[in-house]
Amino acid sequence: MIRSRSLPGIWLAALVILLTMTLAAGFSASTASPLPGASVPPRPNANTPPYANYSYSPAGGNTTTLFSFWAKVFDQEDPVTALEVHWDWESDGTWDTPWSTEKNATHTFDSPGTYWVLLEARDTGGLTGNQSYPITVTNPPPPPPPTLEASISATPTEGTLPLTVAFSSQVSGGTPPYEYHWTLGDGAQSPDANPVHIYLTSGNFTVWLIVYDSGGVDFHQDTLSNVLYVNVSRALVNLSVVPIVEPVAAVGPGTLQFSSTVSGGSPPYTYRWDFGDGMTSAEASPTHAYASAGTYLITLIVTDSGGHATTTRFSVTVPGAGSAASWTWIGLGVLGGAVAGAVIVLAAQRIRKRPPAP
């Protein structure tokens, strides 16, 4: 009976010892398993730093280049609009822009070099993240040379064959020395700055100059100031044909000596004589004997090396056989005319034999 009365006290002492040991082990009422049906509030999440990155353009430049930067930031707890950024253009420890929610920026570097551009982002909890990239900046290129310009002139710009023309060029700008390419219109070319050319054919020639500078810039024929025209006309071809009648017997046919003097045009010349009796000659001063008396129409065609021809005609009378009277007849015929740009002057002379002295 005594044992049964002391049992509750023993259990009470054991419970007190158990609670004491539990508290000593660091447990609290809040960490104990909840009772069935009780609600427990969620544990708050820890703040994390923001992510920071950026892109820029162009990839490189010089001290006149305006670089553009675009920050790319985000945070697990804050929206992008709430995040702030600032920039250190030289990574020298001094921030060059204040904190701002504006994510884009521009900058020009004053001196050449390689710069590590640093971006730092900050969230509303004060945590930060950063990123940096190198950018190479060079000196600006030298200014371009003045515009290459050229003009040409010629003296004279017209005349008759053969025509000697002196060309001159005036070139400025670009990067000397210059390279010259003349096209003179008649198939000739020249690399000289101021060439002299002789035109041996007639025509209206287009002359132009192409100039290259040492940088490869060209000033060419599409520009009117370095195109000109040279007009070369055919010269007058003056032909003088003087038939000489040798003394002939009163009973025989005549023998004529023809001569011609040619000037102008483009030598050498070619000749074609037609003596009116079916016979021809290609000599400059032919001799021809007529087989019978009569009046003959003489035709002479002279052609220069440029293909320009001129034609003239005149008549010659050959005395017949058995003519009892000696005669002196001088017939001077002059025919002047512009035929294919030429003038021919012809003369014919016949000498009659004087009668014998009494």
Identical fold between 51-138 and 149-233: yes
Banded pLDDT at 343 (limits 50, 70, 90) = very low
Give the model confidence (pLDDT) of 3-59 as tens digits. 444 444 444 444 444 444 444 444 444 444 455 555 555 555 689 999 999 999 999
pLDDT score of 280 more than 90: yes
Question: pTM to 2 decimals?
Answer: 0.41
Topology of domain 51-138 in CATH is: Immunoglobulin-like (2.60.40)
Burial of 354 by CB count in 10 Å (0-12 exposed, 13-18 middle, 19+ buried)?
exposed
Q: Which CATH architecture has domain 238-346?
A: Sandwich (2.60)
> For the residues 267-285, what does the mean pLDDT come to?
90
For the record, the structure tokens of 32 come out as 């104990």
Which of these ranges, 127-131, 194-198, 274-278, has the smallest mean pLDDT? 274-278
**292-295 contacts, C-beta under 8 A, 24 or more apart:** 292/253, 292/318, 292/320, 293/253, 293/254, 293/318, 293/319, 293/320, 293/321, 294/318, 294/320
> For the residues 340-348, what does the mean pLDDT come to?
38
The CATH class given to the 149-233 domain equals mainly beta
The amino acid sitting at 165 is V
Q: Look at residue 235 in the predicted model and tell me its pLDDT.
A: 61
Which residues, other chains included, contact 252 with Cβ-Cβ below 8 Å and sequence gap of 6+?
321
Residue count of the chain, please give it: 358
Banded pLDDT at 213 (limits 50, 70, 90) = confident
Q: Look at residue 236 in the predicted model and tell me its pLDDT.
A: 59
Q: Where are the domains of the chain?
A: 51-138, 149-233, 238-346
Are 263 and 331 in contact by the 8 Å Cβ rule? The answer is: no
Q: What percent of the chain has pLDDT over 70?
A: 67
Q: Look at residue 180 in the predicted model and tell me its pLDDT.
A: 93
Banded pLDDT at 218 (limits 50, 70, 90) = low
For the record, the structure tokens of 204 come out as 């209206």
